[in-house]
Amino acid sequence: MATGAVVVLFRPSEAHVSNLLRLKRLVEYIVAVDNSPVLDIRLHERVRNAGIDILPNFNKGGVAGAYNRGLERLIGKMCQILFIFDQDSAVPDDYFTQMVDACLALGSPHFLVGPKIFDINVNRYLPAHVVRRFGVKPIPLTDQEHGLVSCSSIITSGSVMSAETYRALGPFLEGYFIDHVDTEYSFRAMCKGVPVYINTSVVLKHEVGKRIDHKVLFFNLIQWNMGPLRQYYSARNCLHISRRYGTQFPLLILINVITLQQILSIALYEKDKRKKIVAMMVGIIDGLRGRYGPFETCRPRTFAFCIK
């Protein structure tokens, strides 16, 4: 089965370009989608000369738009197994083999599988959960390998799906633009009967933002250090997901705890407190009102001060 990978670029550094060229040696087809706001002609020529298809997207539809353009191009090349990577995703040489073998062993045309993510910022694995209608079960992730483990949400970087899965689920939601694009897609998969797994036998080392963990009383508080615009999307899209899938999963309302934690983190640790908190309040209002899309569409002129 033909295998392809989408790599999303955004103002890539030389290290990111080198990583892209290395991936070309590991997988049959690669489509790089450049979301940079300005076209770098020399970069595109260099990438094409290396045998990689590269598409300018200019951040249209955000990261979701980049995923969709790349996946559609791979499907046009008759790829049946589709991977997605961020530009800084560094994978071991046997990554594709292990992931493809695990997917084929399922014996099903529909699947959404992610690796075990080791966050290099905090030196530990990202937590995983199974969300049921009236319950949430944590999945402990350690160095031990247990093969494919069912879960409710995976991050997009390093993930793999079949072309049949993409056709069944449809494109990523470009109205979300950036934050929680992968969360929404995972819950959409569960609602349509597509199984979601973590392959605990495969590890992807990844930098999830610029997060710092703080111990506050009896719980960990994450300092994300995101800009005001990212805070807006995060707060808005959390609410939108809980509205969109709350009927099937009532406890999904708890996803908004992320927003409360971010507000507390901003108040305690971060710079530009006023701008970030105003951006989150605007995001909460838009989420409650069911608005989504690029910030400029939701708020064409008002509240522009909160992201500048």
Tens of pLDDT along 164-222? 999 999 999 999 999 999 999 999 999 999 999 999 999 998 777 677 777 776 667 77
The DSSP 8-state label assigned to residue 4 in this structure reads E
pTM for this structure? 0.93
In angstroms and rounded to an integer, the radius of gyration of the C-alpha atoms of the chain is 19
Of the ranges 174-178, 186-190, 253-257, 284-288, which is most confident?
186-190
296 to 53, 174, 289, 300, 304: CA distances (angstroms): 30, 14, 16, 4, 8
CATH for 3-206 is 3.90.550.60
* pLDDT one-digit tens code per residue, 41-51: 999 999 999 99
Predicted confidence at residue 307, as pLDDT, reads: 57
Q: Cα separations (Å) of 43 from 46, 50, 57?
A: 5, 11, 14
Domain residue ranges of the chain, discontinuous segments joined by +:
3-206, 212-307
pLDDT at 76: 97
- In sequence order, the 6+-apart residues with CB closer than 8 A to the CB of 274 are none
CA torsion angle 63 67 73 74 (round to 10): 150
pLDDT for 53-92, tens place per residue?
999 999 999 999 999 999 999 999 999 999 999 998 889 9
Could you give the percent of the chain with pLDDT greater than 70? Answer: 94
Query: Any idea which of 15-19, 139-143, 176-180, 203-207 has the lowest mean pLDDT?
Result: 203-207
The pLDDT of residue 120: 83
Average pLDDT of the chain, as a whole number: 91
The pLDDT of residue 72: 98
Sign, CA torsion 178/121/308/268:
positive
What distance in Å separates the CA atoms of residue 203 and residue 114, rounded to the nearest whole number?
Answer: 9
Return d(Cα 12, Cα 18) in angstroms, integer: 10
